[in-house]
Structure 1
């Protein structure tokens, strides 16, 4: 059976993403235009527009489409802004960010995922996304960004990520301990924590490598 991916994409936007309170016109247009199936491995391509977190290797997965939509809407990226993406994965969210922003730098821990994502982006003619193989918890880039998108969960807010933001910048992440995780928008602040946090919605994501809770031992 031949799948009508254009129709599946339209259905995803209208029956999954929009009903989950995603109303940003630029975000919806991006999701309706980009061929998500081109960022999914062949074995799972028929499920590219399903309400599922699809595996991509290394124990990681793509976000569900509804979470991708909410993530992009929360960041509210303007056309002239620069974005740092932590955890590139399949490259699909990178493509979405590239469509919305001026320039995107993506960090991906796994070299094979990074290379596949680069090839997928190139095939779609997306030239404003650069992907580096790097561990975000050890990375020390000098560049500053208007927004940071963290593609995996963290137990606690990595405060040092905030130093990569320009004044007025914001960071989207999912934090906490499963199953009580929440998505949030984080901004630097002059307080004891070093940031202010806006809770957005409850969800659950696999942890970034290095972002999981430290195991606690009890006697």
Structure 2
């Protein structure tokens, strides 16, 4: 291992110790995934020195890669055991999909911007997460032919919970999504499907994401 790789590995471990665990991330599998996935390879090269800092970073096309804590929080909220099929809406650079691939059986990821979808595929292949399926399309409509999903994670803010994503949940499955205003604060919600027709919803706090564009999001 060269000194550069070792330096990033040290930063990943520090991120887990200093940013994630002290703020309440307790799922060992999530912490291990965050310590394993090389975040520096999912951000623009000129921003790699900031890869493990506690804030989002731009990845082009008006999009961002979420701060590490938010990625870990959303993954933990899904309560995955390793046997689940998960839908990731808003692939971006592919980082969250890589984290989910460490803790789920199979990951399906949707990105609406073709250039980002292609870049994410390249990033995931380069880092060995080839089990992530990627498509370019309207993430607010989900991936119906691959449904049902045991978990759905949405990395963009919606005006309300998209009905298509709720209907693609398996019974017992969880949907984690920011809901609120298009350019302001949103509430990070967890929606659990408790039966074919019943759902439970809870919120964990305020967040701010780019808007979810599409038929089930913002026009």
TM-score normalised by the chain length of structure 1: 0.89
More helix by share: 2
**SS of alignment partner, residue 172 of structure 2:** strand
- Find the partner of 1:72 among 71, 75, 81: 75
User: Given the alignment, which residue of 81, 87, 90 partners 1:84?
Assistant: 87
| Contact persistence 1:159–1:195 (CA under 8 A) | no
- Structure 2 CA distance for aligned equivalents of residues 124 and 206 of structure 1: 26
Q: Does 1:108 align with 2:111?
A: yes
In the superposition, relative to structure 1, how do residues 52 and 140 fare at CA in structure 2: closer, same or farther (>3 Å)?
Answer: closer
Residue aligning to 2:189: 184
Equivalent residues of 1:36, 1:48 under 8 A apart: yes
Distance 2:42 2:18 in 1: 21
- Quick one: distance in 2 between partners of 1:104 and 1:18? 25
For 2:162 and 2:141, how far apart are their aligned partners in 1?
Answer: 12
Q: How does 1:47-62 map to 2 (within 5 A)?
A: 47-62=50-65
Question: Is residue 157 from structure 1 mapped to residue 161 from structure 2 by the alignment?
Answer: yes
- Residues 124 and 155 of structure 1, relative CA distance in 2, 3 Å threshold: same
Shift of 1:137: 3.2
Deviations 1:168-212 (A, max 9, x none): 1110011112544211111236799x6421111222111112334
Structure 1: distance between partners of 2:107 and 2:41: 19
Superposed displacement of residue 46, structure 1: 0.9
**Equivalent position SS for 1:121:** helix
Alpha-carbon distance in structure 2 between the residues aligned to 1:153 and 1:196? 19
Structure 2 residues not aligned, in runs of 5+: none
- Measure the CA separation in 2 of the matches of 1:201 and 1:99: 25
Question: How many Å separate the matches in 2 of 1:167 and 1:139?
Answer: 17
* TM-score calculated relative to the size of structure 2: 0.89
Q: Does the Cα contact within 8 Å between 1:183 and 1:202 map onto a contact in 2?
A: yes
- Secondary structure at 1:119 match in 2: helix
**After superposition, what is the alpha-carbon deviation per residue over 1:68-112, rounded to whole angstroms, capped at 9, x for unaligned?**
111111111121110011110010000001111111110110111
| 2:178 is the alignment partner of 1:174 | yes
Following the alignment from structure 2 to structure 1, what is the Cα–Cα distance between the partners of residues 160 and 34? Answer: 30
1:8 and 2:22 are equivalent in the alignment: no
C-alpha distance in 2 between matches for 1:136 and 1:116: 17
Kept in 1: contact 2:171–2:196 (CA 8 A): no
